[in-house]
Structure 1
Amino acid sequence: MANIVLVGGAWIGAWAWRAVTPELRAAGHQVYPLTLTGFGDRAHLGTPETDLSDHVQDVIAAIEAEELTDVVLVGHSYAGSVVTVVADRIPERLAKVIYVAGVTPEHGKRLFDLIPGVEEIMQAMADAEGDGWRIPFISDETLDLYYGEHGLTGQHLGWLRTHAHGVPIATHREVIKLATPDSSPVPRVFVHCTGDGPAHELPHYGRDWVRAEIATGHWPMATKPVELAALLDRLVVA
């Protein structure tokens, strides 16, 4: 049995794990799906100043409030940046960090630095539909252009669009600062979603990575929730 904390990526909250959470609990784990500030039921708390540090504090505060130790911290997509900083701040609380198609940021850089030109595109989207500070959920055309074989059906997209909230753009503009970028004591696992295309190179963080994959697109909690839960169950003890 493990304490598993689930952190969704951009646009989504705890609601996105609703088909994964019961599977993990049935396997005997304590499971805590989180919603970051500005998303889901906490959308009303988002402001133009909401940044990555706020999301890091969301996760740390939840872990401390629940008095959790030996945590398996799961970060999906954008939340890979969040869990990376959390692991740097409270490594003593964590047993493992699992990135599900997660961003693996670099010390001293912003998320926007990872893909040249994307900042201008995202700002234009925010200006058009997000009051200048929220990146709205992407269009079908952008989804097909940038997310490979994402596997999202019309039903999946309807569900995501109903509940998704725009991402505060300041989260992608904050410079990531890690106290121990090359000497983390926390084991790392990267789950590659094959629909995303080739797996990207991973930073060292002072640890060798365990790699796994799941045959689906970027949002496996929507497209393959049972399979994702089974994989996470195996990785918890691996």
Structure 2
Amino acid sequence: MIVLIGGSFLGGWAWEKVTPLLEAAGQRVLPLTLTGTGDRYHLASAETTLNLNADDIVHAIEYADLRDVVLVAHSYAGAPATIAASRIPERIARMVYIGGVLPVAGKTLFEVAGPETEGAIRQTVVDEQIPVMTDFLLDLVFGDHGLTPEDRKYLRARGTAQPIGPYTDPAPADLSGVEKVARTYVVCATILASRR
């Protein structure tokens, strides 16, 4: 079973072009939407945190009684997926990070990103929500991301604001459970590192 989780501003819809390809190859696929984004945007509140998004992943996997999961996390989703995998490593066969954010135990994502990125993002916040990124922020945060004008249009047509809470909520102090999980990190189409 492959569980797919999109990054900030995204929902399960972000995988709609990938899912049919994986299913045609014989894979079972479950795209998830985290609380506060996509079709779960209406659930965003001050209580939407990094740890709540990790709960979303853990509960989806446990309630469906999934095992041998390949957990694929894009961008922001790398942080809650890492926390989730640390909590239920016995259910995760491998984690695949697609340009995924890696949490640091006890630190917020803003602390990990640094003051320049935090400041630029905070300037855009409206009602505790980060609007879908402008071209300036896309370039600042993601550098040479390779998004075409069509990609940006698609993102802005479907994307939703991102609650700020997940960026200000510290990761758990202990993430050691994830060390039991095989992990692969992908940047664009290049695999940089793989364990096991």
Look up the equivalent residue of 2:10 and give its one-letter code: I
Matches within 5 A, 1:67-216: 67-117=65-115, 118-126=117-125, 130-131=126-127, 133-181=128-176, 184-193=179-188, 209-210=193-194
* TM, length-normalised to structure 2: 0.91
Which amino acid is 1:191 matched to? V
Q: For residues 86 and 157 of structure 1, do their structure 2 counterparts lie closer, same or farther at Cα, with a shift above 3 Å needed? A: same
Cα distance in 2, alignment partners of residues 7 and 157 from structure 1: 19
Distance (whole Å) between structure 2 residues aligned to residue 182 and residue 58 of structure 1: 18
Alignment partners' CA distance in 2, 1:103 and 1:175: 14
Contact 1:74 1:97 in 2 (8 A): yes
Would you say the 8 A contact 2:82–2:178 is kept in 1?
no
**Bigger Rg over Cα:** 1
Name the SS of the counterpart of 2:2 in structure 1.
Answer: strand
Query: Match of 1:34?
Result: 32
Contact map agreement 1:88 1:178 (CA 8 A) in 2: no
Identity %: 43
After the TM superposition, list the runs of 4 or more consecutive aligned residues in structure 1 that deviate by more than 3 angstroms.
none
Tell me, in whole angstroms, the C-alpha distance in 2 between the residues paired with 1:26 and 1:11: 27
Distance in 1 (CA, whole Å) between partners of 2:175 and 2:143 is 33
TM-score with structure 1 setting the length = 0.76
Question: In 2, distance between residues paired with 1:109 and 1:191?
Answer: 23
Q: Does 1:63 align with 2:61?
A: yes
Any idea what SS the aligned residue of 1:78 has?
helix
CA displacement at 1:104 relative to structure 2? 1.3
Question: For residue 5 of structure 2, what is the aligned residue in structure 1?
Answer: 7
Shift of 1:178: 4.7
Note if contact 1:48-1:170 (Cα within 8 Å) is conserved in structure 2: yes
Letter in 1 for 2:12: A
Deviations 1:56-100 (A, max 9, x none): 111111111211001000111111101110111011111011111
Asked if 2 retains the 8 angstrom alpha-carbon contact of 1:70 and 1:93, the reply is yes
RMSD: 2.0
Give the Cα–Cα distance (whole angstroms) in 2 for the partners of residues 147 and 184 of structure 1. 26
